[in-house]
Every structure is written in structure tokens, then in C-alpha cells.
A = this chain, B = another copy of it.
Amino acid sequence: MASIKDVAAAAGVSVATVSRVLNEHPSVSADARTRVLAAVEALGYRPNAVARSLRTDQTHTLGLVISDVLNPYFTELARSVEEEARALGYSVIIGNADERPDLQDHHVRTLLDRRIDGLLVSPTDGGSPLMLDAARAGTPMVFVDRWIPGVEVPVVRADGRAAVRDLVAHLYGLGHRRLAIIAGPAATTTGSERVEAFRAAMAEYGLPLPDAHIGQGDFQAESGRRVTEGFLDLPEPPEVVFAADNLMALGALDAIRARGLRVPDDIALAAFDDIPWFVHTDPPITAIAQPTGELGRAAVRALVDRIEGRDVPASVTFAARLVVRRSCGEPAPQEPSPSPVQRSTS
């Protein structure tokens, strides 16, 4: 592969001049410029990004470590992150942690070794020393969706409290009283937060939430299946199952179907995170939707602001919203229009 030396030789100038042409340095003659450009064209020369990075100490690359690529929510997040990053002149390397702390660590380490300019993380757990050290050492970092409390890193996320309250209100209005939740791992903020919001809303309506109605899941379909089976085995099973993410909802559906039960007649179902398929499941599933695209874009902008030293980025919080469909027992009205965005500084 042709290097800058070959170009310099072909154009009859020094490598310094070639570099200046390529980087649009002002002080280079028109004559030299055209000769260099011609040589570049003729040789099909492309600068070696590895060498360039070594010298300039920047890779123009962002790392994105997400919890699970197979989850459509994170896929959409990844897509919007890449899109915004590309618009700002950055590439993205995605690391899929599969909800496993060891894999998360592996990816963070690899990304750091590659000297990415900044890191976007949706942490799978409380944070390994590795990640915390990196944050403390000054690696530009932004948490997205999930975060780690007590760490000085901006967070871009959606707040589901209000939507969860809306959901409980909706369920209460339909006459449901025994509600159960399939929670995510307590080590994740979204895992514990959604349970907390649910518990608070239940209390608000004077409904009991026995421990038996809080199932411990791990955001994967299989755990949704397992927990739901447990619920169904209860002497008095819940009337509603609320899954804290869409994959566990899928598992719950599997379990319910395996028993030959029907939604919502025998048991109602709702989920956190909306996806296009929820419109076509049997029945269409009531869900809490996050403004995923905006989340991804805002996170990238915050991170790039930090990298390029414009200012210290603030945390951003969007609102999630309830989308009522038929899985809890009533014909759905129109799909509501998107809710307004709310920003806050932390």
C-alpha cells in the first residue's frame, strides 16, 4: 500500500509538503498542491489512520459498550449513536457485553488499548475498577441509559417514573389489583429504578406488592420465562405481569403460551421499552416507550463536547411515555403523539 513517501517521490516534493496539502495547511504553493493531488490520485493513496493516530494522539473514534445487541432497544440506540457520531466526524466501535460484567470489562479494556477518544457506556453492573479508574484518569466518558451512582460522569437517560405511574393508573382503572413485576438486575440502575417506580406507584394506589410478586430477571428472555412460570405457579397468581424490558416480555409470552393461557383474559402483560413488533403481537402489547434516537444523539453530542474541550457536558434526562395497547384488557385508543422533551442538569 502506498505511503506518504511514495506520494512525495511521485510529486517531487518532501513528505512534509504532502502532509501539508492533505491537512489543508495554508502555506503551500498552488503548483505543489496540484502535483501532490495528482500523485495521490495516481497512486490511490489513502493516509494510514494508524500512523496518524500514533502521531496526533487522537483516533477520532468513540467506543460504545452496550449491554445486549440482541435487544432491539440497544440496537436502535447503537444506530443513532453511530449516525450522530458520523455526522460529527467520528467512527464508533461497538462492544457487546451480553449483560456479562466480564465481557463488559473485556471490551472496555480493548477500547482503551485502542486509545479511543471517548467512551459511551451503558453499564451492566456497578462498574469494574477498570472502568472507574479510566473515568478518574480523565478518559472522556458518558453513561447512556444506565449509569453508576457516585461516579463523576454525565448521564444521558430517560426517566420512566411518570410513565410507570401512568401504567399503574391504567391497570388500576381496568380493575387490576394484583400486579407483579419482572425486575432487571439490581446492579443496574434501570433494573432497580423501574422496580422502585413501580413500588412507589403501587403504594400511591394503596396496592400491596408482596415479595412474591417481584421476580428477579436479568433482562434476557429466558429469565422472563422462568420468572413468569414462578408467578403462574403461585396459589394466587398475579393478574398482571410487567416486564422491565422487552426481551423478558418475550420470555413471559412464551411461558404464558406454554400454559395455554390467554392475554389479557387470563393474565395481562405490559413491558418497558417499546418495539415495532409489539403492534403485531397477539395481543398488541402495552409498553413504555423511550425516545431512543434522541438518547443516542444527545449522548454523542455530550461526549464530543467533552472530547473537544468545549465545555463540561451536563446530564440530560428525557421522558418516557406510556403506549396503551390491548395486552392489559381494553381496546386501545389511538397511539398517542410523542411527548415533549424535558431537560435537566445534574
Query: Which residues of A does B touch, CB under 8 Å?
Result: 1, 44, 46-51, 53-54, 59, 69-70, 72, 75-76, 78-79, 82, 86, 91, 93-94, 96, 106, 109-110, 112-115, 133, 137, 221, 250, 253-254, 257, 276-277, 279-284
Residue pair A277, B281 in contact (C-beta under 8 Å): yes
Dominant SS among interface residues on chain A: helix
CB neighbours of A75 from chain B (8 A) = 69-70, 75
Determine which of B59, B109, B282, B283 lies in contact with A46 in the assembled complex, contact meaning CB atoms within 8 Å.
B109
CB neighbours of A72 from chain B (8 A) = 70, 72
User: In the assembled complex, how far is the CB of residue A36 from the closest CB belonging to chain B, in whole angstroms?
Assistant: 18
Copies of this polypeptide in the complex: 2
Residue pair B280, A112 in contact (C-beta under 8 Å): no
Complex Cα distance, B54 from A2, in Å, reads 14
Query: Besides A72-B72, A277-B281, 9 other CB < 8 A contacts?
Result: A46-B112, A49-B115, A51-B54, A69-B78, A75-B75, A94-B94, A250-B277, A280-B281, A282-B284
User: In the assembled complex, how far is the CB of residue A5 from the closest CB belonging to chain B, in whole angstroms?
Assistant: 15
Residue pair B59, A69 in contact (C-beta under 8 Å): no
Complex Cα distance, B105 from A46, in Å, reads 14
Residue pair A250, B276 in contact (C-beta under 8 Å): yes
Nearest neighbor of A71 in chain B, beta-carbon distance: B75
Q: List 26 A-B contacts (CB under 8 A).
A: A1-B137, A44-B133, A46-B109, A47-B113, A48-B54, A48-B115, A49-B114, A49-B115, A50-B50, A50-B53, A50-B114, A69-B79, A70-B75, A70-B79, A72-B72, A91-B93, A93-B93, A94-B94, A250-B276, A250-B277, A257-B279, A257-B280, A280-B281, A281-B282, A282-B282, A282-B284
CB neighbours of A221 from chain B (8 A) = 276
Residue pair B279, A280 in contact (C-beta under 8 Å): no
